[in-house]
Amino acid sequence: MHISNYISTLKTLFYSFCIFFLTTGCNSKQNVYKTLQGNVFGTTFHIKYAETIERNIEEDIAQLFEKINHSLSTYHKESVISQLNNQPLASVTIDEHFLKVMEVSKKVYLDTDGYFDPTIGKTASVWGFGAKKITQEPTQNEIDSLLQYVGFDKVHVENNVLLKENKEIYLNFNAVAKGYGVDAVGVLLEGLGIQDYMVEIGGEVRARGTNDKGQFWSIGIEEPNFDGTRSLQKVTRLQNEAIATSGNYRKFRVDPNTGKKIAHTLNPKTGSPSETDLLSVSVITNGSCAEADAYATGLMSMGYEKATSVVAKHPELKVFFIYLDNNEVKTYASKGLTFIK
């Protein structure tokens, strides 16, 4: 080929390539990461997701939150769970959200030997961790009288109707509802074709895909500061996973008469606040955030030794414990859990 023809051919190919590149570049829309935040379930939420089209999904999320509240909130008198608790003889049909939370709760209840138990509700209320405020601690006789109504194996679902072995059984899904809400938002986003997102409600997180830097989502685990300040102990990345944390160092009630701190995690075996060497439990799963939320509560209530034995039977769980050993703060990270800080 003559040299001039060769150069001409190269120019033609070059310009063709440039036109193709510009055309495909103009036609392919880049991901734009958007952020939503607000208040829900008595706490805050943050959602970050990647979009390729302009649309408003805030109303969809608000409606979803409203439906979950109507199903699971003990603070709403007309919710499904309030009807079941306050009208024990009524036949109440449960909705899809209630049913899904029941299924997760039953699984974790069995896996933790009953240390995660949503029927602890009435006992939680007499300790001041329900909708009603109290002025003094319950007596041991009061606690013992309520323990007969504790046991998640005493409730069953048949044909979408909840059956209780005793009408006094009181359900409270606060230890799993935030995680479930996180999952529900994630499912909504995925249904809209959104693959890269992070949803956080009250510290419980579900992440899929990557962030705006093309990396897996970075999530911090708090250090147990008793003075009310907040700082990070570790930072890990969620690779299409969910994380939930339970800790007694920040969530407690102060007895107005004694000034004593009363931990928010109750031991379903005793009906009293857990006296445990665990300060914080973080659970990571490649499944649902609801499961992580429930496991974190169950493990927290049983203490370090029992918790590590349960985790050994469930290699699908990754955990990070902060605990006390002879008044010394120590940490435990399960195999497979890595940190970037």
CATH number at residue 282: 3.10.520.10
CA–CA dist 231, 163 (Å, integer): 44
Answer whether residue 51 is part of any domain: yes
Task: Work out the percent of the chain whose per-residue pLDDT is above 70.
Answer: 81
**Total-model pTM:** 0.85
The number of folded domains in the chain is: 1
Sequence-separated (6 or more) residues with CB below 8 Å from residue 282: 221, 243, 244, 245, 296, 319, 320, 321
What is the model's pLDDT at position 231?
Answer: 61
Residue type, 42: G
Answer whether residue 106 is part of any domain: yes
What is the model's pLDDT at position 229?
Answer: 57
Q: Shortest CA distance to 253 belongs to which of 175, 117, 136, 139? A: 136
What is the model's pLDDT at position 20?
Answer: 33
What is the model's pLDDT at position 254?
Answer: 47
Answer whether residue 9 is part of any domain: no
Tokens of 274: 């857990």
Residue 283 β-bridge partners? 244, 319
Q: Which residues of the chain have pLDDT under 50?
A: 1-28, 251-255, 258-262
Answer whether residue 245 is part of any domain: yes
Element (H, E) at 255: none
Sequence-separated (6 or more) residues with CB below 8 Å from residue 72: 79, 80, 81, 97, 98, 101, 173, 177, 180
Q: What are 34-52's pLDDT values in tens digits?
A: 999 999 999 999 999 999 8
Answer whether residue 3 is part of any domain: no
Cβ 198 vs Cβ 122: under 8 Å: no
Answer whether residue 4 is part of any domain: no
Cβ 90 vs Cβ 72: under 8 Å: no
Sequence-separated (6 or more) residues with CB below 8 Å from residue 194: 49, 50, 51
Answer whether residue 302 is part of any domain: yes
CA–CA dist 262, 253 (Å, integer): 5
What is the model's pLDDT at position 3?
Answer: 38
Summary mean pLDDT of the chain: 84
Domain containing 105: what range? 32-333
Answer whether residue 205 is part of any domain: yes
What is the model's pLDDT at position 24?
Answer: 36
